[in-house]
């Protein structure tokens, strides 16, 4: 059967687009549009791929921590819990969602460059496993609050390895001038390690780095593995401290359009792990427990968004616009990063494409576009338009701009569909208004 970009997207004999084996036109009729669909088996198999690769290389205990900023709702934390993996959370809201889903909080890692006192207290009360400490003020505060609560808090330190991967500037984070972490280059990483080791109420367990997102090359990850293991060796030599945990962050890229490469998670993770092991031998350090924090590469290609076409505007000599019933409020990624997406008419997926169209959202904002100049059959009002690979950073970045309600999220598994997040209602929009 013909697949489009990924195996879970096919065209049925009726000319309709199928996703995870289900006719998308039927799904659009059942749930209305816009709506986001997540292929649960795909999510689970991605989580397993990471888990198996890390365990095969480093033994039980090494695992992926799903970066839930990519997609966060209760059912997803339940899936991660069932798959026996951890999670990376970055806000008290994500923490609350994980706790509400019954996620085992000892496998949760709290990130972010500015955790408030209230966030820290709330996380400790919730039995959070680890804070990934960004900076000195935060270290002091966690030590103080842990003391108040009578606990010894486990932490990792976020280290900036000074790597500049080839990705969009807004999602590159490993450089020395990043707002995240403490840089090795400036000496701050060593200084914060020393401070952490001296804190009474803190147990330093290891180090973390994250170099960026949507990275296709393996080299920056391999380099990060080298720099971080060398840092572990340096800290052992300087302070006699042996890190038990090395967390290498997320960032493996995902195929959004035909021209993107196909990435094998197992192959990539194995290569990164091989480098970690080789460097442990090279620098003569004990092999740590290794974590990775994939977000996008777990959920992106497990997602699809369906919209309904409204007006179609052909401006002679200029552009053709096709307007849909969603837009930057459910997927701001083109507006923010000019991200590439594959766009199709779901109810006419086997028809020849006729012209190029710019897909516009419904916000009062010219920049509210989903994609420019995509080839489509001439769209008509009422057609179903599918945007592929929307599982990551779409629903989680959705907003209520123009008081547009957020779409529902539906899980697809073994030919069955289950609502995971209901569509927002107008009452939800005014729920906080006094």
Any idea which residues carry the catalytic annotation? Answer: 364
Q: Which of 86, 250, 303, 391 binds ligand LLP (CB under 6 A)?
A: 250
**Angstrom distance (rounded) from CA 409 to CA 211:** 30
Q: Quick one: 59 exposed, middle or buried, by C-beta within 10 A (0-12, 13-18, 19+)?
A: exposed
Residue 349 makes CB contacts below 8 A (sequence gap 6+) with: 11, 15, 16, 17, 386
For residue 46, report the phi and psi dihedrals to the nearest 5 degrees.
-65, -45
Q: How far is the CB of 395 from ligand LLP (least distance, A)?
A: 11
Q: Given candidates 220, 294, 391, 407, which one binds ligand LLP under the rule CB under 6 A? A: 294
Contact 423, 406 (CB under 8 A): yes
The single residue listed with the structure tokens 């090279």 is 282
Rg of the chain in Å (alpha carbons):
23
39 touches ligand LLP by CB under 6 A? no
Binding mask 162-201 for ligand LLP (x = CB under 6 A): ---------x-x----------------------------
Judged by CB under 6 A, which of 64, 92, 206, 251 binds ligand LLP? 251
Q: Does residue 293 interact with ligand LLP by CB under 6 A? A: yes
* The two structure tokens encoding residue 166: 């080839």
- Give the range of 294-302, 312-320, 380-388, 409-417 binding ligand LLP by CB under 6 A: 294-302
CB of 172 to ligand LLP, least distance (A): 10
Neighbours of 337 (CB within 10 A): 15
Place of tokens 């997406």: 341
Q: Stretches 225-233, 290-298, 373-381, 410-418: which one binds ligand LLP (CB under 6 A)?
A: 290-298
Q: Which of 67, 123, 290, 344 binds ligand LLP (CB under 6 A)?
A: 67
Q: Is 64 in the site for ligand LLP (CB under 6 A)?
A: no
Q: How far is the CB of 227 from ligand LLP (least distance, A)?
A: 16
Q: Give, in degrees to the nearest 5, the angle at Cα 124 between 122 and 125.
A: 65
Nearer to ligand LLP, 161 or 295 (CB): 295
Binding mask 342-381 for ligand LLP (x = CB under 6 A): ----------------------------------------
249 binds ligand LLP (CB under 6 A): yes
Point out which residues pair with 88 in neighbouring strands.
Answer: 67, 109
Distances (CA, A) of 30 to 35, 231, 410, 418: 10, 54, 11, 11
Tell me how crowded residue 331 is: count the other CB atoms within 10 A of its CB. 27
Binding mask 197-226 for ligand LLP (x = CB under 6 A): -------------x--xx------------
Least distance (Å) from ligand LLP to the CB of residue 239? Answer: 25
Distance CA 68, CA 98 (A): 9
Q: Which residues between 85 and 114 bind ligand LLP (CB under 6 A)?
A: 88, 111
**282/279 Cα distance (integer angstroms):** 5
Interaction with ligand LLP in 316-335: which residues (CB under 6 A)? 333
For ligand LLP, give the closer residue by CB, 181 or 379: 181
- 131: three-class secondary structure by DSSP: strand
DSSP string, 373-425: EEEES---TT-EEEEES-SSSSGGG---GGGPPPPPEEEEETTEEEEEEPPP-
46 binds ligand LLP (CB under 6 A): no
Which of 68, 358 has the CB closer to ligand LLP?
Answer: 68
Residue with tokens 């500015």: 114
Instruction: At 161, list the tokens.
Output: 């390895």
Helix (H) or strand (E) holding 191: helix 188-198
In terms of Cβ atoms closer than 10 Å to its own Cβ (0-12, 13-18, 19+), residue 203 is middle
Choose the stretch contacting ligand LLP; rule: CB under 6 A; options: 8-16, 92-100, 143-151, 245-253.
245-253
* Closest CB 171 distance from ligand LLP, rounded Å: 5
Q: Applying CB under 6 A, what is the total number of residues that bind ligand LLP?
A: 21
In the complex, least distance from residue 148 CB atom to ligand LLP, rounded to whole angstroms: 27
Q: Minimal distance in Å, beta carbon 99 to ligand LLP? A: 20
Using CB under 6 A, list all residues that contact ligand LLP.
Answer: 67, 69-70, 88, 111, 171, 173, 210, 213-214, 249-251, 293-297, 333, 337, 393
């Amino acid at each position: 059967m013909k697949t489009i970009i990924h195996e879970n997207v096919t065209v049925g004999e009726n000319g309709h687009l199928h996703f995870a084996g289900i006719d998308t036109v039927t799904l659009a009729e059942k749930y209305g549009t816009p709506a986001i669909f997540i292929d649960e088996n795909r999510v689970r198999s991605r989580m397993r791929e990471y888990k198996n690769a890390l365990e095969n290389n480093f033994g039980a205990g090494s695992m992926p921590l799903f970066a839930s900023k990519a997609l966060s709702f209760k059912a997803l934390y339940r899936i991660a819990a069932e798959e026996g993996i951890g999670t990376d959370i970055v806000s008290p809201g994500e923490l609350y969602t994980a706790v509400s889903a019954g996620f085992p909080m000892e496998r949760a890692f709290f990130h972010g460059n500015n955790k408030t006192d209230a966030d820290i207290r709330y996380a400790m009360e919730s039995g959070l496993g680890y804070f990934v400490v960004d900076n000195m003020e935060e270290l002091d505060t966690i030590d103080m609050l842990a003391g108040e609560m009578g606990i010894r808090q486990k932490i990792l330190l976020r280290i900036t390895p000074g790597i500049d991967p080839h990705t969009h500037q807004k999602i590159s984070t490993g450089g020395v001038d990043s707002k995240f972490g403490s840089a090795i280059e400036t000496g701050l990483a060593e200084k914060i390690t020393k401070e952490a080791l001296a804190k009474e109420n803190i147990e330093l367990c290891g180090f973390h780095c994250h170099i960026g997102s949507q990275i296709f090359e393996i080299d920056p990850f391999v380099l990060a593995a080298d720099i971080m293991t060398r840092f572990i060796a340096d800290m052992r030599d300087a302070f006699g401290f042996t890190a038990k945990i090395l967390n290498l962050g997320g960032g493996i890229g995902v195929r959004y359009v035909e021209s993107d490469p196909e990435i094998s998670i197992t192959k990539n993770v194995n290569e990164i792990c091989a480098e970690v092991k080789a460097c442990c031998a090279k620098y003569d350090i004990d092999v740590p427990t290794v974590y990775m924090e994939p977000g996008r590469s777990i959920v992106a290609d497990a997602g699809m968004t369906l919209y309904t076409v409204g007006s179609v505007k052909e401006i002679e000599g200029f552009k053709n616009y096709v307007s849909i019933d969603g837009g930057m409020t459910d997927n701001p990624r083109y507006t923010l990063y000019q991200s590439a997406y594959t766009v199709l008419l779901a109810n006419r997926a086997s028809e020849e494409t006729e012209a190029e169209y710019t897909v516009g959202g419904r916000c009062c904002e010219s920049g509210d576009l989903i994609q420019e100049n995509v080839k489509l059959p001439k769209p008509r009002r009422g057609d179903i338009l599918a945007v592929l690979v929307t599982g990551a950073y779409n629903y989680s970045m959705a907003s209520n701009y123009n008081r547009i309600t957020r779409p529902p999220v539906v899980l697809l598994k073994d030919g069955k569909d289950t609502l995971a997040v209901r569509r927002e209602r107008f009452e939800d929009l005014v729920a906080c208004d006094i």
